[in-house]
Structure 1
Amino acid sequence: MTTGRRGPHRSLPVRAAALAIGAAVSVAGSPAIRSVARHDTPDYDSGLFGAHGTQAVDLKARLGSALWCLALVQLGLALWRYGRIPGLRPPPRRVRTVHRLIGLVAFLLSVPIAYHCVAAYGVETTGTRVALHSVSGCALYGAFAAKVLVVRSRFLPGRLLPLVGGALVCAIGPLRYTGALWALNGSDAPGL
């Protein structure tokens, strides 16, 4: 199913520009966050919605797990909307609205989690888990920026939308694995 809102197919440079902007946000975000983290001393007692210390870590892990669940719901809705789930009839129009609302909730949920990560711990690249977590966090917001550009653009082909949407889900997965799962599993994540 196509949305019908895109014009004729555009050139490769236009498509590459959208992906380059998302990649630039991701790549530029890492040094920017690292710069902030170097100038700010991490505050391990930083609070999150009134929780401090291990309680804040537990809350952040639970919120991160909720974010992962929302991302999976988003993926399912997108697959349904574009007719990629065999056996399901075309979705009602409200699926588009639900998809957007859940996306907004997921983004808003990600902001305090990311803020607490940067404020409490800064950016660390000393170990595999924390380096992967930091890079995935930057990729998340880069993918989000690219998705917003593709969704709002009348010049970019609609075929880019599944690519940037998939990148968004793929960025949240490692964040949940290296952060929320790690914290909820007694500071252990298999393979890390």
Structure 2
Amino acid sequence: MPDPDAPFPGRSPAPPTPWRATLLVPLLAGAAVAVATGVYGRLHTPTGIAVNVAGFSGPQTVKVWLGTGAAVFAVLQLLSALAMWGRLGGFSPSWAGTAHRWSGRLAFLLAIPVAVHCLYALGFGAYDLRSLAHSALGCFFFGAFTTKMVALPKANLPGWALPVLGGLVFTALIGVWLTSSVWYFTTFGVHL
């Protein structure tokens, strides 16, 4: 049986795609998501309420606690990534890859209702420097996340690409958390 990946007779194999070209589609997809999120948040008329869960004092507390959960899972994802790459002093358990994938999934799942609340109920905030930074970081987070997820299955990425993309996703999420949940806790106190 012929090799399905072999070139047609008389044709040479295609040259490997340079990594810059490989990253172009993920970067464009991420930029489109970041811009679309920001434009929607800016043009949409905020409703004031989007996500509320019984047991919390209001939608804002739901948002800050879900955001805090996402930040905790993001830290776990960072630690598991460092373990996978042998950057924790030789500590590299066999379950680090599974922990990395699941902590990332859970962080993202917790971030979705927060983003829905922010975009639908509040819009893109530019009231002060904190709200502007929060809104911009939120759009950047979803764009960087999209870039990383689209780039993940690409075959010829340079070795630095996924750690850099993952670092950008982590940094953006922690920035979003600092400008929302931490700000809320230090301004209004820690309560449900």
TM-score by length of 2: 0.79
Could you tell me which of 68, 73, 79 is aligned with 2:71? 68
Q: CA deviation at 1:11?
A: 2.2
Are the aligned partners of 2:34 and 2:140 in contact in 1 as well (CA < 8 Å)? yes
Q: Which amino acid aligns with 1:106?
A: A
Q: How many positions carry a matched residue from both structures?
A: 174
Cα distance, 1:89–1:124 mapped onto 2, change above 3 Å: closer
Equivalent positions of 1:3-82 (< 5 A) are: 11-17=18-24, 18-35=26-43, 37=44, 40=45, 42-50=46-54, 55-82=58-85
Are the aligned partners of 2:51 and 2:62 in contact in 1 as well (CA < 8 Å)? no
Q: Which amino acid aligns with 1:91?
A: P
**Hey, what does 1:174 align to over in structure 2?**
175
SS where residue 149 of structure 1 aligns?
helix
Q: CA deviation at 1:26?
A: 1.8
**Hey, what does 1:154 align to over in structure 2?**
155
Q: CA deviation at 1:84?
A: 1.8
**Matches of 1:140 and 1:67, distance apart in 2:** 12
Q: CA deviation at 1:167?
A: 0.5
Cα distance, 1:47–1:146 mapped onto 2, change above 3 Å: closer
Are the aligned partners of 2:23 and 2:151 in contact in 1 as well (CA < 8 Å)? no
Unaligned stretches of 5+ residues in structure 1: 1-7
**Matches of 1:111 and 1:24, distance apart in 2:** 18
Cα distance, 1:10–1:90 mapped onto 2, change above 3 Å: farther
**Matches of 1:119 and 1:28, distance apart in 2:** 14
**Hey, what does 2:86 align to over in structure 1?**
83
Identity of aligned residues (%): 32
**Hey, what does 1:3 align to over in structure 2?**
none
**Hey, what does 1:95 align to over in structure 2?**
96
TM-score by length of 1: 0.79
Q: CA deviation at 1:44?
A: 2.3
Cα distance, 1:88–1:136 mapped onto 2, change above 3 Å: same
Cα distance, 1:19–1:91 mapped onto 2, change above 3 Å: farther
SS where residue 126 of structure 2 aligns?
coil
Superposition RMSD in Å: 2.4
Are the aligned partners of 2:51 and 2:59 in contact in 1 as well (CA < 8 Å)? yes
| Larger-gyration structure (1/2) | 2
Unaligned stretches of 5+ residues in structure 2: 1-14
Are the aligned partners of 1:51 and 1:59 in contact in 2 as well (CA < 8 Å)? no
